[in-house]
Chains A and B, each alone.
Chain A
Amino acid sequence: MTERTERTVQAGQKPQARSTEAVAAFETAGPSAVSDCKGFEVKHLVKQYANADKPVLNDISFKVEHGTVLVVLGPSGSGKSTLLRTIAGLEPIQGGTISINEKVIDEGRPGTEKAGRSNRSSELRTRIGMVFQSYDLFPNKTVLGNITMAPLLVQKRDKAEVEAEALKLLERVGLADRKDAWPHELSGGQRQRVAICRALILHPEVLLLDEITAALDPEMVREVLDVVLELAKAGQTMLIVTHEMQFARAIADHVILLDGGHIVEESHDAHAFFAHPETERARQFLRTFEFE
């Protein structure tokens, strides 16, 4: 999707009052308008652990256009989470490149198999947001404290401005009244919505969501996924790992299926992918979600 079509999507939201507000609230948190809108790209990425005989990720390449959503599917152990972790800088890569708007932010170097993390700068890290499967709010901070910590400490932004934006984001996810609550007082779904706000306030170019509803009770899944759907409409570039197939189908602009560290199928037409996958592996994978 190009910049122009993304604008059309946003314009299309205008008639609905609720969504307009969502776009407005999420727009401030979304990718900065100054970026040249080229998107996010991974080329020939290799991830190898020190004591493994073959790489966890082998020659992975894909591009996510600015303002679009890539859904990464695959059986467990296929390397989906590892892929998101390498993109977030939590795992150093041994080959290939990761770039934002054609600027390389991480380059593979052999010999880093044992290293803990990529050595990218604080500033670069704030450009890629990530929400994990486990409820990872800081238990020693209130909801507001969790959200405002990084913008104040890392981006050195003005406190009043940061708090105002945090409140706006909380309002968007329906949690403005819980701003002074402690994480242990919130439900899993509420915590994940706060975690999304905490990532958004840094205005990341890309937001990575790693099975963010996998640990939630079924009735809380919806409230979190609705927030993600609204974000997609507002033009937030995202990479999503999920096992919620209905959700994946609804949100994806672009799908890749990983298996054994390789991309076995890639599609820029999500509906076609779910309806008529091209490879036998994809058909077999999608069948596991059917009950008839």
Chain B
Amino acid sequence: MKVLCEREKLREGLTVATSVIPMKSTRPAVENVYLVATDDALELVGTDLDVAVRFRIEDVKVEEPGTALIPARVAADFVRDLAGDTVTLRTKGDNLLIESGDDCCELTTIDPDEYPVVARFEESDSVRVMAATLTRLVSRTSFAAAREAGRYAMHGILTQTEGDELKMIATDGRRLAMASAALEDADAGSKSAIVPTKGMQLFCRVMDDPTELVAVHFGESQFCLKTTKAEVFARLIDGEFPRYSAVIPPSTENRLEADATTLTQKLKLVANVTSSDTRAVRLSMEKGALTIFGRSASTGEATAHMPVDFDGKPGTIAFNPDYLIDGLKNCESDTVRLEFNEKTSPGKFTLGENYVYIVMPITIDA
């Protein structure tokens, strides 16, 4: 192959591609970047097998189409440090030359067949959405996904379409965040996939223009995104997402509305005493008032009061304050609403429009 392109564009592409390429892999071929010169474009492909990115550079002069597999990090570093404005990539025997002005680097290549097949974005059946919408749904939910050992299905974000709506749900088994937003398409049908949190975060990184209209595709084994510059793929989690709909209480007896900022501040205040040997803070509510109480055997106890709107039977429910604060950080409205039935059943927080956060309570069985 032989391609002439702008150095800056090549640098950007290599940076994006190498950001997913692992330093060390049990499958050595993926430590490389895969170059594909088609008639009118140069593509840079990188993958760690969990996620893959295909970066496309349009304004290039392809003298001879072809492919090459070269060590990713060396290539990226060399191009970064080049001074010239244009770069020529051409194969010479089994090697690839990167030339710019008087400077040249010759890299050994590997048989491209050793590189895993990275899919192409399928336009048909894809769904269009605003980049900002996608990013917002990810940040509203991803914090609730599981991070450590446990059921792997919970390490991802359940992503679904229903008509003109895109919905994401994440849970770690103790709390659950669910948010939805409108798609650009009128009817996207009903699709579903569990996308690893890591893949979703890569998607957000690649979308640098929030106003851009991007396309997503729910593939058989991958979740795919296409922006003007790049295609990104994330392998789906093969597992069963917890059946969450049953835990969202359809009707509740108790309902509390509080100022989100004040509640956050009071929770942090009380949580100061509870972290060492206890987790729970107790929320005791009665008409017009909320008392937040925490106690630890080793440090002492703390109490805070705040005015609230409360409708229901006066009572107490306890939560892990870290979980509440995590959710409140993402609260989009001034007031937060908490609804629940009893002290052992889930607490439902409404953090914004189409944004629900469920937290399981802590019980103390003395």
Judge: A and B partners, yes or no.
Answer: no
Could you tell me which B residues sit within 8 Å of A by CB distance? none
Could you tell me which A residues sit within 8 Å of B by CB distance? none
